[in-house]
Amino acid sequence: MSAIVDMVLISLVIYRPSIWLAIWIAVLITLRRVPYLANEIANMLDLESYSGLTLIVARLLLPGWESREMLMSRTMDLSREKAHTPVHVPVPSSTGSPDTIAISYKDDATMRDQFFNSMADARDERGAWLFSANQIHAAFGGKRADVLDKIRERRSAIAPAQFREDDGSIGPATYPVTKG
């Protein structure tokens, strides 16, 4: 049956002789008949996912195609076969219920401390504190005196800025940036 398509293409060259048409038809026949090229065309067009008459016409136009499944007029829907079955993933919660609102992680305290430290250490481009102690207390809550002590301790532990001298030694923070 696919030889009929080849004969129609060759008769087209005989009816309208042209070197360019002959080259074009030779390329078409090669693409259709060579199994490697036909398989690549079928993969690009995803012909394995089609069924019924579309698959029959594809087999007629690509006789070199080596399909991985048998040709049937009624195949199962491949998109359903390729789909994965859903899997239930339990979500940890603080109350033991499958509630996603109250997620409690084991390293919650570590994340909270890191966020607290980053807020306490944050400065703007002028070097001023980005968050006041009151803002940090409002964000984290707890006893006000404890939070303020923690902020004071954290901010006093930060080393002052230092500058490099021309000879490579480290100068004090009051060292002028420009010498004039």
Given this model, what pLDDT does residue 104 score? 53
Partner residues linked to 123 by β-bridges:
129
Transcribe 67-110 into DSSP letters. -SS---SS---HHHHHSPPP---PPP-SSSSS-SSS---TTHHH
Given this model, what pLDDT does residue 113 score? 82
**Sorting pLDDT into bands at 50, 70 and 90, what band is 75?**
low
Cα distance between residue 132 and residue 155, in whole Å: 11
Which tokens is 52 given? 């019924």
Which tokens is 3 given? 């030889």
Given this model, what pLDDT does residue 68 score? 65
